[in-house]
Amino acid sequence: MRLLTPAGRRLSASEAVERLAKSGVLFLDQATVADVRSFLRDWTEPYRHPHENSPGITVIHSTPFRDGENNAGFTSRSLPLHTDRAHVAAQPAIVGCLYTAQARTGGESLLLDGVRVIKAAMERRLLADAGNVVLLAPGHPWLPVITTGRGSALWRIRYRSDALARPHAATVRAKPLLNLLHELPPPDGYAFAGGQGYLIHNLRVLHGRRAFSGDRRAVRVLATVTRSSGYAYLNEGFHLPAGTPATSRTDIARVETPHPADRADGGPA
């Protein structure tokens, strides 16, 4: 298996882990599922998922869409940008997708670095109310879309907007940030062939895909970084790149209970 930067530079295994931690994205080439498992074995453990075929592994191929079952990821439809398991508190830190059969047409993978979203929010001075833009998911607690992790050094993004969960402004003041999230920057698109794919930091990088035709097949890998690893902080968030302007407020993870007079129209109190 070849481990690559998106620009195509080949990396050693140790360089690849460091690159994934710093940039959030790593590309795979000439890879098998066994190769990916071997690369992850020493520093991660499988993240269990209800749809998995084996621990941390889910085989994805096109099946008919069924209303009300939230199975768009297992169809040929487009898949909006999201982070996996965004509606639960403990998400997988690492998400991988290895393609075993390429689509006949379409099916490009879409990747968006969440740092771009945070920078856009900083430029518009919207982060003071970030704790009040939350994901609403039936049966789950409100979870901020953008939050800091340990202290103020780590950042985290959890995002999806579909039948399972969608972002909501809990206060009127938070609506401008919600509007920004509804207009995400355009993602980068990649057409991967069989044996190619990616690993991403799921608390930083949003992913999706374009609609496709043909027998496109992929294997999804979900993992949590082991506590003994020097990269265990990836389970909590990521460091902003050097040179990113600091926000004027660091307690954005706190979700306030809005006063009734300050509630967004139609929002729950």
pLDDT tens-place string over residues 7-35: 999 999 999 999 999 999 999 999 999 99
- Closest residue by Cα to residue 141 from 81, 90, 205, 211: 90
Mean pLDDT of 233-262: 61
Residue 132 falls within a domain, yes or no?
A: no
Task: Name all contacts of 143-149 with Cβ < 8 Å and 24+ positions apart.
Answer: 143/86, 143/87, 143/89, 144/252, 144/253, 144/255, 145/181, 146/117, 146/118, 146/121, 146/177, 146/252, 147/237, 147/252, 147/253, 148/237, 148/250, 148/251, 148/252, 148/253, 149/233, 149/236, 149/237, 149/253
Range of the domain at 63: 2-117+188-242
57 confidence band (pLDDT: 50, 70, 90): very high
Task: Examine the pLDDT at 243 and tell me if it is beyond 90.
Answer: no
User: Phi/psi of residue 239, each to 5°?
Assistant: -90, 135
Distances (CA, A) of 137 to 16, 66, 162: 35, 20, 10
Residue 106 falls within a domain, yes or no?
A: yes
CATH code of residue 219:
3.60.130.10
256 confidence band (pLDDT: 50, 70, 90): very low
149 confidence band (pLDDT: 50, 70, 90): low
Q: How does pLDDT run across 95-148, given as a tens digit for each residue? A: 999 999 988 999 999 999 999 999 999 999 999 999 999 999 989 999 999 987
User: What is the model's pTM?
Assistant: 0.88
Distances (CA, A) of 206 to 9, 80, 201: 22, 9, 9
Name the domain count of the chain: 1
